[in-house]
Structure 1
């Protein structure tokens, strides 16, 4: 395993990825929106190393927006299907839907800027809420662009990163900080959701 994990083999893997074409890069990034176990950071890094920073970011951005907006539209269209009501009527999901309807796009836009935010839940809840399609598309375009530019910038030039311990350390620290900040923002928003809805509930009963 260690013998295979060399810079030459990684560069060969990137070259094979490149030969699959940009459509594959778009497809793989879009697929991640529906299958969150796929590593989005790895896919974005592969795109920028295979096609260059500009084209790689563009490919990843298009794929991420298409996938996320597709899941949003699917949730909106089939959210009222009887077989999905068990999920839709879940207390946690209903709480998030109500809060999104109250607060609008601002908190969602913040979460979309981080690669480790719960993107699947965000897209589904947004689809079940009353957010207008056009406004959510704008939020996706902005949030995903910020997230992919930062992620792609950290992982660009794989050879330079893997051969320079300082750069490798900085990239690892950068990705770790993104994860920490993303989780911190997510936790803060979760607490705000509960606080705001408790306040609304008290007002409605007073």
Structure 2
């Protein structure tokens, strides 16, 4: 069984059947599937989020998906941060596009990681690996991945839960856009404070 066959199996219907089949485990499958996607990026996070929303409701489904995705992303980041300099991932640092992304993350910290993780079709696995290889602090990365995944996963959840509301209720759509801006702004403010604190600590 190749990767394409595995990916094609993970349709929304099959994922929902999987969650229902193991409903005796409660929300555990709904948490583990998004976490697994961080390690196997060919899996469809979109289907996992929609299945959770359909199975557990908008808010609890969103929280399950967000918690699993953040946990998986952070574990990948920590693995790369601790073992990324080894020969296995050394070729990534020599790749021009990866090097440019690493330099961008090094210069701007929170901002680029947050923005990249906001979009559902960004290859988040690459972002996690690059962040792990870069000099971004663990605190900055965790802040970026938590807020970025909030925006991305809530957007998928919101659209999947009631797609007609985006057209019929533009106010709700405007609220989502406002939340995205607020999260970005708050994240930038927290990043500035973290940078000042790190500068003071280095000064001492």
Tell me the TM-score normalized by structure 2. 0.68
The corresponding residue for 1:119 is: 124
Are 2:46 and 1:41 aligned?
A: yes
Question: Could you list the runs of 5+ residues in structure 1 that have no partner in the other structure?
Answer: 1-8, 162-166, 171-206
Assess, with a 3 A threshold, how the Cα gap between structure 1 residues 129 and 37 changes in structure 2: closer, same or farther: same
**Aligned-partner Cα distance in 2 for 1:101–1:151:** 29
SS of the residue 1:38 aligns to: coil
Bigger shift: residues 77-86 or 110-119: 77-86
Matches of residues 44-193 of structure 1 in structure 2 within 5 Å? 44-156=49-161, 167=164
Q: What residue in structure 2 maps to residue 203 of structure 1?
A: none
| Separation in 1, partners of 2:166, 2:108 | 38
Quote the RMSD (CA, aligned, Å): 2.4
Residue 31 of structure 1 aligns to a residue whose secondary structure is helix
Give the conservation status (yes or no) of the 8 Å contact 1:33–1:71. yes
Matched, 1:32 2:32: no
- Alpha-carbon deviations, 1:90-127, whole Å to 9, x = none? 22222221121112211221111111111011111011
Q: Greater CA deviation, 18-27 or 31-40?
A: 18-27
Determine which structure has greater relative contact order: mean sequence separation of CA pairs < 8 Å that are 6+ residues apart, divided by chain length. 1
TM-score normalised by L of structure 1: 0.67
Task: Work out the CA distance in 2 between the residues paired with 1:146 and 1:71.
Answer: 20
| Distance in 1 (alpha carbons) for counterparts of 2:51 and 2:24 | 12
Larger radius of gyration: 1
Structure 2: state its 5+ residue gaps.
Answer: 1-12, 168-204
